[in-house]
Amino acid sequence: MRELLTMFGSFFKIGLFTFGGGYAMVPIIQREVIDRRGWVDRDEFVELLTLAQSAPGPIALNTSVFVGYKVRGYAGALAALLGVVVPAFTVILIVAIYFAQFRENVYVNAAFKGMRPAVVALIVSPIVSLSRGMGAWKYA
């Protein structure tokens, strides 16, 4: 049970603090599940990421579900899925309620423009780090 709560908490943080969509979450998920928690190794993560890309639906949700399932079965998949979805759902609900009030706010627009370069860097980061381990594909 404790590991399920830890998994929920890890994916909750990822969902809460990641902007830019699913591909922006991939390096953060990678860092959390490989480097920080040791739930899967790099090769397993690449396999899970490949499955997540080929399955229908958003890659961040698929990746979280596959990692959760690999670690703790169906309960792990549910914990990871809820962890990643709850923050986004809550933020979207709040934004929808108050959108009309701050739609034209200069600071809000500036914040979103400022996030764009960081999102690009987050998308490029896993491509570079995961491709390092694919040296065997060089001659394929």
Q: Is the pLDDT of residue 139 over 80?
A: no
d(CA 80, CA 67): 8
> In terms of residues, how long is the chain?
140
Q: Which residue has the tokens 């079965």?
A: 73
Asked if 83 contacts 10 with a C-beta cutoff of 8 angstroms, the reply is yes
Domain ranges of the chain: 2-139
How confident is the model over 103-136, as pLDDT tens digits?
778 888 888 888 888 888 888 887 887 777 666 5
How confident is the model over 22-69, as pLDDT tens digits?
788 888 889 999 999 999 999 999 999 999 999 888 888 899 999 999
DSSP state at residue 140: -
Q: Is the pLDDT of residue 137 over 60?
A: no
Residue 140 has a pLDDT of 47
Q: Is the pLDDT of residue 138 over 60?
A: no
Give residue 121's identity as a one-letter amino acid code.
A
DSSP result, 6-44: HHHHHHHHHHHH--S-HHHHHHHHHIIIIIIS-SS-HHH
Greatest Cα pair distance, the chain, in angstroms, is: 56
d(CA 54, CA 105): 39
Asked if 29 contacts 67 with a C-beta cutoff of 8 angstroms, the reply is yes
d(CA 8, CA 17): 14
d(CA 100, CA 79): 33
